[in-house]
């Protein structure tokens, strides 16, 4: 029932898995009692347990709260009232990890093929990893130098730039992908997963070149019941692993990941003088306060301020 309600509201697969997991933990914590038999006091107890005993982060505790609010509102059919004095996990004020331009270049030089292309898009257009992997052929507009991001975080669409230096490599990549798709069609396959109910509305769209993923998986998936085969996008773990290896090979001591390319994109645009509202639109942030974190990065570390020890020791050398 919970899964059906989540899917009816077009929640992502990851959110569905997460919410179901939190509901199971909630039920187990209270001795397998049915959620209908419980209310605000039990939710309070569970959330406080997460903060005090499990020592989860503030974002993790908030995710658990969202899952339970959804459960009671849409599945059980009643809203939660005042939860009282919930022990809240402390929200740490952390700055995102950002690579310098030199470090980005060093990491990219240690990637190749489609992994290099995906990492270049994440840095060059500020894409999240899953936004990059979920790109369809029709989302890339070479004529307008633009990429359309569909159903980004918060189910919002937005457009970002298509970097000029990536146009030719991306075209060449798509030529190879098209050959694979045509070969799949010749074998009687070539279907792709269609979002929402579009597969039922447009039965032939699943084999249409426009709907194919820009970065398809190497091997076809197979439906054991129907025998259908097709290609989903490449698994995110393969890209994450490749980037992690490249970061180590480049000798970086920072905890850089795929998402660090996005952080670096925003920070480098700010350094180049672009205004915060433009960067907010490119990143797809709902609130400009989220984007403002990158201004804090620029202001950290005493940029433009000379350390007193530099002045002291440099004067000795003179």
Catalytic residue numbers, as ranges: 128, 153, 259, 262, 285, 294
CB contact at 8 A, 81 and 40: yes
Q: Exposure of 307 by Cβ count < 10 A (0-12 exposed, 13-18 middle, 19+ buried)?
A: exposed
Could you give the CA distance from residue 16 to residue 170 in angstroms, rounded to a whole number? Answer: 33
CB contact at 8 A, 294 and 270: yes
CB contact at 8 A, 43 and 83: yes
The DSSP code sequence of 204-231 is TGGG-GGGSBSSB-SS-EE-TTT--EE-
CB contact at 8 A, 236 and 129: yes
In the numeric block, which tokens belong to residue 102? 């030199």
> Number of helices (H) and strands (E), helices first, in the chain?
15, 5
Could you give the CA distance from residue 247 to residue 244 in angstroms, rounded to a whole number? Answer: 5
């Amino acid at each position: 029932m919970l899964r059906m309600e989540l899917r009816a509201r077009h929640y992502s697969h990851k959110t569905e898995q997460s919410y179901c997991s939190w509901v199971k933990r909630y039920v187990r914590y209270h001795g397998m009692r049915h959620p209908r038999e419980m209310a605000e006091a039990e939710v309070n107890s569970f959330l406080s347990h997460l903060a005090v005993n499990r020592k989860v982060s503030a974002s993790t505790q908030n995710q658990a709260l969202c899952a339970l609010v959804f459960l009671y509102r849409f599945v059980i059919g009643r809203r939660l009232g005042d939860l009282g004095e919930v022990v809240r996990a402390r929200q740490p004020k952390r700055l995102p990890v950002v690579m310098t331009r030199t470090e980005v270049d060093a990491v990219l030089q240690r990637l190749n093929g489609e992994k290099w292309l995906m990492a270049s898009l994440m840095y060059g257009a500020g894409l999240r990893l899953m936004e990059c992997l979920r790109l369809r052929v029709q989302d890339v507009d070479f004529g307008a130098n633009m990429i359309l991001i569909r159903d980004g975080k918060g189910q919002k669409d937005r457009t970002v730039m298509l970097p000029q230096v990536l146009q030719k490599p991306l075209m060449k990549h798509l030529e190879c992908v098209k050959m694979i798709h045509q070969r799949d069609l010749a074998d009687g396959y070539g279907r792709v997963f269609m979002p929402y109910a579009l597969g039922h509305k447009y039965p032939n769209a699943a084999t249409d070149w426009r709907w194919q993923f820009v970065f398809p998986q190497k091997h076809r998936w197979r439906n054991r019941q129907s025998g259908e085969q097709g290609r989903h996008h490449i698994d995110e773990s393969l890209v994450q692993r490749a980037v992690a290896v490249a970061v180590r090979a480049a000798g970086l001591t920072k905890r850089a990941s795929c998402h660090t390319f996005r952080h670096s994109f925003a920070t480098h645009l700010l350094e180049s003088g672009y205004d915060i509202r433009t960067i907010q639109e490119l990143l797809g942030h709902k609130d400009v306060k989220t984007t403002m974190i990158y201004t804090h990065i620029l202001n950290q570390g005493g940029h433009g301020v000379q350390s007193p020890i530099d002045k002291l020791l440099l004067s000795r050398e003179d």
